């Protein structure tokens, strides 16, 4: 026992960021390793958090290990700042990190923790995106043994994953994966990019912002460092394509609130049973609406 050891923030029940300094240091060391080997699933000692695993504990541990008093945090869940998961995680960070600012504006945030979406607005070099991951290993659908999966990753042997995609093409004429699309990072490791839609996958490629992925239950951290090649797994003759929101006439569907025809849309059914569409990124949608009303006023 080090006699000179001082508990940080003596008066508080917990240290800044809930986790103790040693835990945060270990997570940061794993982050550095994950950045050094892009796409490699770095094991770490995932801590017990005061919430159920599966509610973003992996992402939260990354955020708490990185956040400092100068940071501004944005938390989103499926593109929305106001859904239950996002609100609770944000409140928890505010409770355990006094002095940290929170925001809903993408461009103001230095740290963005997200579940299932990448913000519509282009991220910058000054920002870090933390994605919550339920299943870190893209190979889990074809190989149950983790030991064997590790060998396959080491040898960059993704032939069985490609066979799985090929079976999709044979059966449905196209690759039917809508979320968690296997993506090769820096020409070697294939990652599960967390349940982001296909729409968001190209935005990992050469992203100016550092993208960190944390799986609390599976105890893995991996990264897509800034300006790194990220390619969805495809065949030479079958191109990767994102969701195209077109109606029966081939017209691009617009958001019912802001009219945007370039954003990822959520499908909603209104009280009358009609299908309508709305931007999934709620902050983006609000900003588009503000721009339109400002233009009308001018």
Q: Which residues are catalytic?
A: 39, 255, 258, 279, 285
30 part of the interface to Zn ion, by CB under 5 A: no
Specify the residue, 55 or 264, whose C-beta has the smaller distance to Zn ion. Answer: 264
Only one of the segments 141-149, 200-208, 210-218, 271-279 lies at the binding site for Zn ion (rule: CB under 5 A); that segment is 271-279
**Strand pairing class (230-232; 183-185):** antiparallel
Residue among 31 and 258 whose Cβ is closer to Zn ion: 258
Is 265 a binding residue for Zn ion by CB under 5 A? The answer is no
Closest CA to 158 of 141, 139, 180: 139
Minimum CB distance to Zn ion smaller for 112 or for 258: 258
Strand partners, 123: none
Question: Does position 258 bind Zn ion by CB under 5 A?
Answer: yes
Listed in order, strand segments (DSSP E) in 126-273 are 128-132, 183-185, 190-191, 210-215, 220-224, 230-232, 265-269
Judge contact between 191 and 198, C-beta under 8 A: no
> Least distance in Å: CB of 80 to Zn ion?
12
- Does residue 292 belong to the site contacting Zn ion (CB under 5 A)? no
Compare residues 116 and 277 and give the one whose CB is closer to Zn ion.
277
Does the footprint of Zn ion cover residue 209 (CB under 5 A)? no
Range in contact with Zn ion (rule: CB under 5 A) among 73-81, 101-109, 189-197, 253-261: 253-261
Residue 267: CB minimum distance to Zn ion, A: 13
Under a CB-based contact definition with an 8 Å cutoff, are residues 201 and 181 in contact? yes
Cβ 231 to Zn ion, closest distance in Å? 29
> Rounded to the nearest 5 degrees, what angle is found at the Cα of 78, between the Cα atoms of 165 and 193?
35
Reduce the DSSP state of residue 87 to 3 states and report it.
helix
Helices (H) and strands (E) in the chain, counts: 6, 12
Binding footprint of Zn ion, residue count (CB under 5 A)? 6
Determine, following the binding rule CB under 5 A, whether residue 257 of this chain makes contact with Zn ion.
yes
With CB under 5 A as the contact rule, the residue among 152, 255, 264, 277 that binds Zn ion is: 255
Q: Between 210 and 249, how does the x/- string for binding to Zn ion read (CB under 5 A)? A: ----------------------------------------
In the complex with Zn ion, the residue whose CB is nearer, 26 or 286, is 286
Residues 6 or more apart whose CB falls under 8 angstroms from that of 262 comprise: none
Site for Zn ion in 98-127 (CB under 5 A): none
**Binding residue (CB under 5 A) for Zn ion from 63, 90, 285, 287:** 285
Rounded to a whole number of angstroms, the minimum distance from the CB of residue 257 to Zn ion is 5
Q: Which of 120, 200, 279, 281 binds Zn ion (CB under 5 A)?
A: 279
Length of the chain: 298
For residue 6, the minimal CB distance to Zn ion (Å) is: 51
173 dihedral zone (left: phi>0; alpha: psi -120 to 50; beta): left
State whether residue 121 is helix, strand or coil.
coil
For 262: left if phi > 0, alpha if psi spans -120 to 50, otherwise beta; the answer is alpha
Q: Give the C-alpha separation, 113 to 103, whole Å.
A: 12
| Minimum distance, C-beta of residue 292 to Zn ion, in the bound complex (Å) | 10
Neighbours of 295 (CB within 10 A): 8
Q: Interface with Zn ion by CB under 5 A: which residues?
A: 255, 257-258, 260, 279, 285
């Amino acid at each position: 026992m080090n006699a000179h050891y001082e508990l940080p923030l003596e008066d508080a029940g917990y240290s800044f960021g809930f986790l103790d300094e040693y835990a945060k240091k270990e997570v940061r060391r794993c982050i550095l390793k994950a950045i050094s080997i892009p796409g490699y699933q770095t094991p770490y000692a995932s801590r017990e958090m005061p919430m159920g695993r599966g509610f973003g504990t992996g992402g939260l541990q990354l955020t708490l290990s990185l956040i400092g008093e100068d940071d501004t945090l944005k938390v989103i869940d499926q593109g929305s700042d106001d859904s239950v998961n996002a609100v609770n995680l944000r409140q928890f960070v505010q409770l355990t990190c006094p002095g940290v600012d929170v925001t809903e504006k993408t461009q103001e945030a230095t740290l963005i923790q997200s579940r299932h979406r990448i913000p519509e607005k282009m991220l910058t070099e000054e920002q870090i995106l933390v994605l919550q991951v339920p299943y870190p290993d893209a190979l889990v659908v074809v190989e149950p043994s983790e030991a064997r999966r590790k060998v396959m990753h080491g040898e960059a042997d993704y032939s069985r994953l490609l066979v799985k995609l090929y079976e999709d093409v044979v059966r449905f004429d196209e690759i039917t994966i809508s979320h968690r699309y296997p993506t090769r990072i820096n020409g070697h490791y294939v990652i599960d990019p967390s349940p982001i839609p296909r729409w968001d996958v190209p935005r990992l490629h050469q992203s100016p912002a550092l993208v960190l992925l944390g799986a609390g239950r599976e105890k893995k951290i991996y990264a897509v460092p800034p300006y790194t090649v990220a390619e969805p797994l495809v065949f030479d003759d079958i191109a990767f394509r994102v969701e195209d929101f077109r109606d029966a006439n081939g017209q691009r569907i617009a958001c019912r609130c802001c009219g945007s025809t370039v954003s990822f849309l959520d499908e909603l059914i209104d009280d009358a049973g009609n299908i309508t569409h709305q931007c999934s990124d709620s902050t983006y949608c609000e900003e588009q609406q503000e721009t339109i009303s400002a233009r009308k006023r001018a």
